[in-house]
Structure 1
Amino acid sequence: MVTKHMHNNKNTSLLNISSCFLLLTLCFFQSSLNAKTHEGVSLLVLGIAQDAGYPQINCYKPHCMPGWKNPQKRRLATSLGIIDHSNKQKFLFEATPDIKEQMYQLHRYAPDDKYQLGGIMLTHGHMGHYTGLMHLGREATASQGVPVFAMPRMMQYLSSNGPWSQLVKLKNISLKPLKDGKVMLLNERLKLTPLKVPHRDEYTETVGYKLEGPNKSLLFIPDIDKWQKWRLDISELVKEVDYAFLDATFFSDDELPNRDMSEVPHPFVVESMQLFDKLPQKHKKKIIFIHFNHSNPLLIDGSAAQQQVKKAGFQYAVEGMQLRL
């Protein structure tokens, strides 16, 4: 009996040692995984809707009602957050009317007390892309010298027209000039290239951006009139990058029956899918449609439009999507 008891104790000790070793091993791998999550550069999708968000003001039609009835289904104006974990910096594509909520979401992943706001990159002067700058002034954050990257006409517009000019005068923002096709170093790990695109340039020019990280690159073109009007070949640009966030304002030409669609030109998603149809699948899957008008069925979870896009080999953006650069 004594021998059996001692034998059982020995087995129990071996089991305890094995369990401790397994637990330590799991903890090591978990900590390694957590460390990797907080290294490098990551992208966070902060908004996917057109300038006015979803649902849109005064829209009480069936396609908007889900957003009014359920706050979980509401979507913010298009914006991307870039987080450089190594340099403890974060950047924002677009200053949207929803910047308050979007800055909070970015803060959750990159807290303000640990990550500096390295800058905001503006594409153009339509309401969903720059008006969030108002939150940087006296009435809200009273920021100091937030870098705002902009093209010449955009800089002139902000400098010469109130209330934006007050932000410049009081040095709430610091305008950083960009040139079409010229690389701007955000830091030693991030290279930004503005690419001028044809669009309704009533007040400013319009650009998309190419951003190169330490490992991967992205293309961000939320607004353009038509791909065929651009001097550059969008298909070739898609081949050069790892992710391509592209204008998908309207799914098709029948979304706004009471509007002249030529007054708000954008490439329809069905047109874009046809244009990119001959690309190999390895390039198709890079394309992530974004900037959905409130009428766009890609906003509706489980819609036939979403299934059509996925079946064709493309992606559509969702808020909270994360990618590595």
Structure 2
Amino acid sequence: MLRVVVLGAAAGGGVPQWNCGCPACRTARTERPELRSTQASIAVSTDGEHWLLVNASPDLRQQAIATPQLHPRAGQLRHSPIAGVILTNGEIDAVAGLLSMREGSPFTIYAHARVLAILGSNSIFNVLSEKNVKRQPIEVDQAFEPALPDGSPSGIEILPFEVPGKGAWYLEGKAHPAGGNAAGDTLGLRIADKASGKYFFFLAACARLTDDLKSRLAGAPLIFFDGTVWRDDELIVAGLGNKTGQGMGHIAMSGDHGAIESLAGLDIARKVFLHINNSNPALLAGSNERKTAEHAGWQIPADGTEITL
């Protein structure tokens, strides 16, 4: 059995963002607290006792408190069910939560060498002692099985694959610590239970859907997919920023080449949007955008949503 908990569904800054008075943030802050969402991450387990995180959002401490599955075992002074963290990119909303895991519990960070180079170039991540926190490089299209802290196999097989996207925005115009090209900066994951064969896909960032990517996702029982913006120029039109979705490395939900249209007809059983920006009107229940997404078979999850395969 493969269990997945949505720790957070929002894009960078969460909902509401600390300094934003847009309709979604204003509504979440005052009238409808159920709209509040932390930054995107999920937890995965096959036994309900050991969990792997996919990305470590800046809200990780809050997410761990809100998620009973991640609480320390009763009667133990120091314990965490978190066995490892798989990073799909080097953005702040994927790595900053690692700094909340510095209190001495052992776990492993799994990431592409380009992302590990970013961590290695910033001394603040040295608070994660190598004695307790291993950094394990992963490679595109090479499956691996994360280990539990005692070295035993987790029973979960993860296949990383390259996804069209962009490197971390804070490195724009600067030399990447790993040098070279951007291959490996943005990854998707196929996550499977080795015992049952059940699997799902996780893509928190994706700039476009290529034919190869569509073929990979076709027939999947479950996908978590980039839902950052509803339309490409959303932030500009709303007066919230000067970048398009494409400029940030994210595909729009709507439009001729958006996620909803591009993934239609691929026989995907369950489709869940993740990494949803506060500017996205599909956040608001009852909006035309939410109705369109749900009519197309997409779910916008609340923090704490659990899915079992």
User: TM-score range with shorter-chain normalisation?
Assistant: 0.7 to 0.9
Alignment partner of 1:116 out of 81, 90, 96 = 81
Aligned match of 1:244: 223
Deviation of 1:227 (Å): 1.7
Q: Distance in 2 between matches of 1:110 and 1:124?
A: 23
Counterpart among 193, 212, 231 of residue 192 in structure 2: 212
Instruction: Please provide the CA RMSD for this pair.
Output: 2.1
* TM-score, length of structure 2 as denominator length: 0.81
Instruction: Quote the Cα distance in structure 2 between the aligned partners of 1:55 and 1:42.
Output: 28
**Which of 204, 209, 214 is the matching residue for 1:222?**
204
Contact map agreement 1:149 1:178 (CA 8 A) in 2: yes
Structure 1 unaligned spans of 5+: 1-39
Residue 159 of structure 1 and its aligned partner are, at CA, apart by 2.0
- Match 1:80 to one of 42, 50, 54: 42
Measured in 1, the distance between the counterparts of 2:23 and 2:298 equals 27
Maintained 8 Å contact 1:225/1:266? yes
What is the deviation of 1:101?
1.5
Q: SS in structure 1 opposite 2:44? A: strand
Which secondary structure state, in structure 2, belongs to the residue aligned with residue 58 of structure 1?
coil
- Quick one: which amino acid aligns to residue 218 of structure 1? F
3-state SS of the aligned residue for 1:249? Answer: coil
Q: 1:105 to 1:57 in 2, by over 3 A?
A: closer
Alpha-carbon distance in 2 for matches of 1:167, 1:74? 30
Q: Which one has more relative contact order, counting CA pairs under 8 Å at least 6 apart?
A: 2
Find the aligned partners of 1:311 and 1:284 in 2 and give their Cα distance: 14
**Structure 1 residue 320 and structure 2 residue 304: aligned?**
yes
Q: Describe the shift of the 1:254–1:153 C-alpha distance in structure 2 as closer, same or farther (beyond 3 A).
A: closer
Aligned 8 A contact 2:221 2:269 in 1: no
Select 2:247's aligned residue among 263, 274, 288.
Answer: 263
Give deviations 1:274-312, integer Å, cap 9, x for gaps.
212333xxx244221111011012221232222111212
Residue among 157, 167, 173 paired with 2:128:
167
In the alignment, what sits opposite 2:155? 189
Structure 1's 198 and 175: CA in aligned 2 closer, same or farther, altered over 3 A?
same
Q: How far off is 1:236 after superposition?
A: 1.8
| 8 Å contact from structure 1 (residues 159, 168) kept in 2 | no
Q: CA deviation at 1:313?
A: 2.6
Stretch deviating more after TM superposition (113-122 or 156-165) = 113-122
**TM-score (normalised: structure 1):** 0.77
Aligned equivalent of 2:286? 302
Structure 1 distance, partners of 2:207, 2:288, is 25
Equivalent residues in 2 for 1:79-98, closer than 5 Å: 79-85=41-47, 88-98=49-59
The equivalent position to 1:129 in structure 2, one of 87, 94, 110, is 94
Greater alpha carbon shift after TM alignment, 260-269 vs 47-56: 260-269
Q: Which amino acid aligns with 1:273?
A: I
Alpha-carbon distance in 1 for matches of 2:293, 2:47: 33
CA contact (8 A) 1:285 1:314 kept: no
What is the CA–CA distance in structure 2 between the aligned matches of 1:235 and 1:263, rounded to whole Å? 22
Among residues 171, 174, 180, which one is paired with 2:140 in the alignment?
Answer: 180
Higher mean Cα deviation, 288-297 or 204-213? 204-213
One-letter code of the match for 1:177? P
Q: Which residue of 2 aligns with 1:233?
A: 212
User: How far does residue 319 in structure 1 lie from its aligned partner after superposition?
Assistant: 2.1
Aligned in 2, Cα 1:74/1:313: closer, same or farther, shift over 3 Å? closer
Q: 1: distance between equivalents of 2:248 and 2:10?
A: 16
Rg larger for: 1
* Residue of structure 2 in register with 1:48 after alignment: 9
Richer in helix (by share): 1
Deviations 1:133-164 (A, max 9, x none): 11122xxxx22432111110111221231201
* Cα displacement (A) at 1:172: 4.6
CA–CA distance in structure 1, aligned partners of residues 268 and 154 of structure 2: 30
**One-letter amino acid of the counterpart of residue 135, structure 2:** L
| 5+ long unaligned stretches in structure 2 | 75-79, 147-152, 177-183
